[in-house]
Structure 1
């Protein structure tokens, strides 16, 4: 073999080794990106053979035509070079929904119908995830700004919502801000920032862990390259999610997937779990996933499969759109009974403002649940809430579905131009003209409940009659912080077994009240044995008589 050919072969090997290292492609030809890679490799080898005249020197008969003649060996090389591309096009064409509508429809299982109140527990205002991804990023950036030396070395990664030891939080990894910053800190960036999803004031910086493997690292530390080379060379990989185990140790959860039909219908099969500090990688199937992992199913997979189920519910020839449905414009991650779900509205095809139900899909097992509740879409609820405060020009966050007294209700924050929470809003799913707003969650909920009673009675005087006037002696009194505001809770000696709650803005006298004081107030029943106070007078303070 000539020296020039040896050099060429070595150059080819080194070139494609460099591509594999730097681009980290999928090498499995059963995936479209893997087939493209091998198509390029084969085509370049064939071109090199022709360039060196290797094919023309091969023995074999000629194929003669009117204007040309060449050896069969040349024809074989050409066929080999174009075969991957022909396969790619053919497989993509014959995998379209037109030929397999039932397979596209059934990739998402038939949702299990459930009653709304049987799943979602009554509203707990202290556990509402009022902090969204944008606000979490701003709060994390503010915390990072408190450490100027650190802020010049790192940048914030993508916030991920998750439940850690029963607490709902956003976790934001610190990542390298450039090549030279990585070069000077190859042991990793110093930790991550945790932002409470329920309290904007609860932000903490955790520096006990080094994030060595991350998207903004280089060479072998780069997350995508490490995942591909350490167990994922021939596997579909997607959706890199930063999660903590119950001890606070950081990991990257990378979804593995396969195609169910040609290069189409991707289906999650499990995950690679990569220790962000050591790079140790373990592969798990969905059935044996660690309990602390919240999400395996990519959000894009679920939304696509839900829409396919609605589009092909009666095949491809359903020109009348019978029973067709589609997801609403958006989705959100919610937690219920310790499980992580994707939540989205379902609308009939052609309807813009009306939802026919809602779907919750388990983000690990992909088990779907359907709640057939007619009402407003998330978008319509947002616009209704913004209309309530249009003079303030606040914008509504994406709504969270909640259970208020057994009724499905949207809850959202109202933000100013700086993205800061200024008010809260509750909007009825069944009637999106019923809107309650307030500067605290408690105040907004009170306003919403008031509007509900007005609408149900049709008479304000009748609504007022539902309120009770109570007098008694404080037996126990305490204050509790909920979502950045104070709520007072107390019991009366004369009303044993009943709990009364009052927002801080009900009366200035609440902060001065103590056990033994004589009080009078108006209240309404909120739930069993719990009453919401709407006005409050401390008669001991008003009379100047000290309590015993």
Structure 2
């Protein structure tokens, strides 16, 4: 028999390895999560196996003469105890059975209905017209470049830190990217144990507005060391030891204090269908942590729902819309290849297109999901262009420059669903702007400024016909009378457009498609006219009705 002290050292060694594994990998100790259940199964197997070897001596296999079964025997022909066998069977059976029971085969309705039925809305009613002066033009890629440039302006700081992951958010009504500064290595961490100096704010609407904010130490960071590591600190000191945690995002409160917002979640079916339950807010400077249920999350927190959770739930709803055995793909739909975070009426949403399975460049509509409550809204715009198709169309408009289009933001212009995107060079710098009609992605407006691109776009819409500009039936039409002071025609893509000025509307330009009225071709300066229009953007009016009083 092995001496007692050898047994102690063996168990102590296994225990030490388990503790080190838990500390290094920040293990969730709740067995209701698949990774944790596997951890327990392996640990129990190690202890039972070590007990068997130490207690019973060397292990060997013996075939029963009267049956094909092979028995495990230990020293002195001792058999492995039944209780140990059943314990091992139980832990591994739990893992396997729950994994199988969690599959979609047994839970198809739960998979389909995890994302509740969206509220079907009218795009022009719910999506507020955006002030183009405040339209977000800086995406995540550009925000990181601008933050790196700002960090490079301070050589001493740049050698000590590197840029973390930017997070878009609204702080005191201003849309920004918040970018944490993180230690650039082990020795930099040892030299600055109180944390990095602060963070960088990049305006989402102005590429020139980039600020380095110091005085708010970032002590707790992702991928840091010992208990300064954010996940490890939260797991062992922030109440996360038995909690599912994911989606670590950097946010600022209304006073500019830095926090990490960590989503907590549970599985709705065994090890599957993760669902956000709330958030743990960790002060990035002090490490102080508070766990909030979903309904109690502070108002300044913009998002709790992980983007991956939301997209999976949208796709599950589309995949199993007709059940599990829908081999004909009837009514199936899926989210677009990309998505974007947008703000509407002060709330944060994930916005993505919906396309039929097997469709190419057309969309059946869009879905907008609140990133805190998960309340969803769907806008049916059958036959519209997908985001990818719009990107290709915008890039094709300036193909001679080799620019590429950023992922588009969908906005409301003149009650018309419109994609807006930036056109970038190979360095990722903005060179032009583009607007693309969702209904007809061949209508594209580009320009070196947002205003110029918008005018080009409105001109294209006008040339294509007034129906593209009327929007829904609730669109308010207005009329104005006056004398034409100047008028000219323009032919673009085979379509004739008229532009004119009136003496009663100084500084306003009227744009009309030729098919609005045959009288446009006969109109001259000095003629009295009456104009009907449906929208005015940046002193450009889209004409939907025209009457030349001089012609009668």
The answer to whether 1:120 aligns with 2:127 is yes
TM-score by length of 2: 0.83
Offset from partner CA, 1:90-138 (integer Å, 9 cap, x none): 2222221122211110000000000001111113111111100000000
The answer to whether 1:450 aligns with 2:422 is no
In structure 2, the CA distance between the partners of 1:336 and 1:68, relative to structure 1 (3 Å rule), is: closer
In structure 2, the CA distance between the partners of 1:49 and 1:501, relative to structure 1 (3 Å rule), is: farther
Q: 2-side partners of 1:108 and 1:385: how far apart?
A: 33
Q: 2-side partners of 1:457 and 1:133: how far apart?
A: 36
1:65 Cα deviation (Å)?
5.2
The answer to whether 1:435 aligns with 2:444 is yes
Offset from partner CA, 1:488-521 (integer Å, 9 cap, x none): xxxxxx76xx87699xxxxxxxxxxxxxxxxxxx
Q: 2-side partners of 1:529 and 1:19: how far apart?
A: 61
2:418 maps to which residue?
A: 409
2:189 maps to which residue?
A: 182
1:448 Cα deviation (Å)?
0.1
Q: 1-side partners of 2:224 and 2:79: how far apart?
A: 50
Q: 1-side partners of 2:466 and 2:4: how far apart?
A: 96
Question: Of 249, 256, 261, which aligns to 1:253?
Answer: 261
Q: 2-side partners of 1:205 and 1:196: how far apart?
A: 12
Q: 2-side partners of 1:417 and 1:79: how far apart?
A: 62
The answer to whether 1:100 aligns with 2:107 is yes
1:160 maps to which residue?
A: 167
Question: Of 297, 300, 323, which aligns to 1:292?
Answer: 300
Q: Tell whether the 8 Å contact from 2:30 to 2:243 is kept in structure 1 after alignment.
A: yes
The answer to whether 1:333 aligns with 2:311 is no
Of the structure 1 ranges 204-213 and 39-48, higher mean CA displacement relative to structure 2 is found in 39-48
1:279 Cα deviation (Å)?
0.4
Offset from partner CA, 1:139-179 (integer Å, 9 cap, x none): 00000000000000000000100000100000110000000
Offset from partner CA, 1:287-345 (integer Å, 9 cap, x none): 01100001100000000000100111111122222211111111110000110000000
Give RMSD over aligned pairs.
2.6
Question: Of 197, 201, 207, which aligns to 1:194?
Answer: 201
The answer to whether 1:28 aligns with 2:36 is no
Q: Tell whether the 8 Å contact from 2:501 to 2:509 is kept in structure 1 after alignment.
A: no
Q: Tell whether the 8 Å contact from 1:46 to 1:78 is kept in structure 2 after alignment.
A: no
The answer to whether 1:389 aligns with 2:398 is yes
1:23 Cα deviation (Å)?
1.2
In structure 2, the CA distance between the partners of 1:135 and 1:526, relative to structure 1 (3 Å rule), is: farther
Q: 2-side partners of 1:526 and 1:422: how far apart?
A: 31
1:37 maps to which residue?
A: 39
The answer to whether 1:358 aligns with 2:366 is yes
In structure 2, the CA distance between the partners of 1:277 and 1:126, relative to structure 1 (3 Å rule), is: same
Q: 2-side partners of 1:50 and 1:272: how far apart?
A: 42
Q: Tell whether the 8 Å contact from 2:451 to 2:538 is kept in structure 1 after alignment.
A: no
- What SS does structure 2 have at the residue aligned with 1:431? coil
- What SS does structure 1 have at the residue aligned with 2:539? strand
1:46 maps to which residue?
A: 48
In structure 2, the CA distance between the partners of 1:464 and 1:347, relative to structure 1 (3 Å rule), is: closer
Q: Tell whether the 8 Å contact from 2:463 to 2:497 is kept in structure 1 after alignment.
A: no
1:190 Cα deviation (Å)?
0.5
Of the structure 1 ranges 43-52 and 251-260, higher mean CA displacement relative to structure 2 is found in 43-52
1:216 Cα deviation (Å)?
3.3
Q: 1-side partners of 2:507 and 2:34: how far apart?
A: 62
In structure 2, the CA distance between the partners of 1:528 and 1:413, relative to structure 1 (3 Å rule), is: closer
Q: 2-side partners of 1:225 and 1:501: how far apart?
A: 61
Q: 1-side partners of 2:456 and 2:69: how far apart?
A: 86
- What SS does structure 2 have at the residue aligned with 1:41? helix
- What SS does structure 1 have at the residue aligned with 2:103? coil
Gaps of 5+ in 2: 468-488, 511-530, 543-552
- What SS does structure 2 have at the residue aligned with 1:98? helix
2:284 maps to which residue?
A: 276
